Chains A and B, each alone.
Chain A
Amino acid sequence: AQSVTQLDSQVPVFEEAPVELRCNYSSSVSVYLFWYVQYPNQGLQLLLKYLSGSTLVKGINGFEAEFNKSQTSFHLRKPSVHISDTAEYFCAVSDREGGAQKLVFGQGTRLTINP
C-alpha cells in the first residue's frame, strides 16, 4: 500500500522569503506524484505533477518540485513567496495503473506568509 508523509503540518515564512514543503512517499511500485493547493473555502487545485522524464517539475504560481527516487521524496519549493500563497498544500501519490485515479494524500501543510 502507498502512503504519503508531509513532514511539516505548519510552515510560517516571511513574504519574499524562499520556502520548501517536504513530502516523502512509500510505494512498492512506480508512481505518479502530485502537489495540490487548497485556498480557504475552496476545493483543491493542481499545482504540478510528476509523471515521467525530467525530475524537476515546474508548476503554476512559480512553484516547482523535484522528484528524488532514491530518497522517495517530492519536495515543493518556491524561491520567493507572496501573501497570496497562504493556503494548505497537499502532496499525493498514485500508482501507474488506471490513470492515477486512486490518489493517496498526505495530511497537508499549512503555509502562512507573514508580511
Chain B
Amino acid sequence: ETGVTQTPRHLVMGMTNKKSLKCEQHLGHNAMYWYKQSAKKPLELMFVYNFKEQTENNSVPSRFSPECPNSSHLFLHLHTLQPEDSALYLCASSQVRQGIYEQYFGPGTRLTVT
C-alpha cells in the first residue's frame, strides 16, 4: 500500500449505530487530519493531530470522536449520528517541518446516515 488509505470506502449506518472510520498513511508523516466534505459546502477541517496529540478541534460535535494511536493511524469513531452528518470524510497527512506544507489526501469514506 502506498500513500493514504481509508476504510471502508462506503458506509451506511442508522442513527443509533456505532461505527468507526480508519485511515492509514504509509508516507512517514507526523501529522494527520480529518476533513468533512458535504454537498454544496466547502471542505471543512475537523481535527488535527501532531505527533499523536490532538492540536485542533474545529468545534466538532461530540458524536464524532477521533483517535490517533500512532503517527500512521487515525480513527474517527461515530455514534448517534444525524442525517446531516452524511458526507464524504477525508483523511490527510503531512510532514510538519520547515518548508514542507503539502497535505496528502486519502480517497475518502462516503458516509450515509439513515
A43 x B105 contact (CB < 8 A): yes
Count, chain B residues at interface, CB 8 A: 28
Interface flags, B83-114, vs A, CB<8A=1, else 0:
00000001010101101111111111000000
Q: Report whether A43 and B106 are in contact in the complex, using a CB–CB cutoff of 8 Å.
A: yes
Instruction: Decide if B48 is an interface residue (CB 8 Å cutoff).
Output: yes
A43 pairs with B45, CB closer than 8 A = no
- The interface residues of chain A lying within 8 Å CB-to-CB of B97 are 99
Instruction: Check if A71 is an interface residue, CB within 8 A of chain B.
Output: no
Chain A, interface size category, equals: 20 to 34
Which chain A positions have C-beta within 8 A of B50? Answer: 101
Segment of A12-20, A45-53, A72-80 in the binding face: A45-53
Q: Which residue of chain A is the closest to B95 with respect to CB atoms?
A: A99
Q: Which of A49, A99, A102 contacts B96 (CB 8 A)?
A: A99
Are B31 and A101 in contact (CB-based, < 8 A)?
A: yes
Q: For A94, what are the chain B residues with a Cβ–Cβ distance below 8 Å?
A: 101
Q: Does B81 contact A (CB under 8 A)?
A: no
Of the listed residues B4, B43, B90, B97, the one surrounded by the most CB atoms of chain A closer than 10 A to its CB is B43
- Partner among A41, A101, A107 whose Cβ is within 8 Å of the Cβ of B42: A107
| Docked complex Cα distance between A51 and B55 (Å) | 23
With A101-B33, A101-B56, A108-B42 as contacts: A49 and B90 at CB distance below 8 Å: no
User: Is A99's CB under 8 angstroms from B94's CB?
Assistant: yes
> Does A28 count as interface, using CB distance less than 8 angstroms?
no
In angstroms, Cα B56 to Cα A103, docked, is: 12
Chain B nearest CB: distance from A47 CB in Å? Answer: 11
Are the CB atoms of A105 and B42 closer together than 8 Å? yes
Residue of B nearest to A106 (CB): B42
B residues near A (Cβ < 8 Å) are 4, 31, 33, 40-45, 48, 50, 55-56, 90, 92, 94, 96-97, 99-108
Residues of A whose CB lies within 8 Å of any CB of B are 4, 32, 36, 41-46, 49, 51, 90, 92, 94, 99-108
A-B contact pairs, 7 of them (CB 8 A): A32-B101, A51-B99, A94-B101, A99-B97, A103-B43, A104-B42, A107-B42
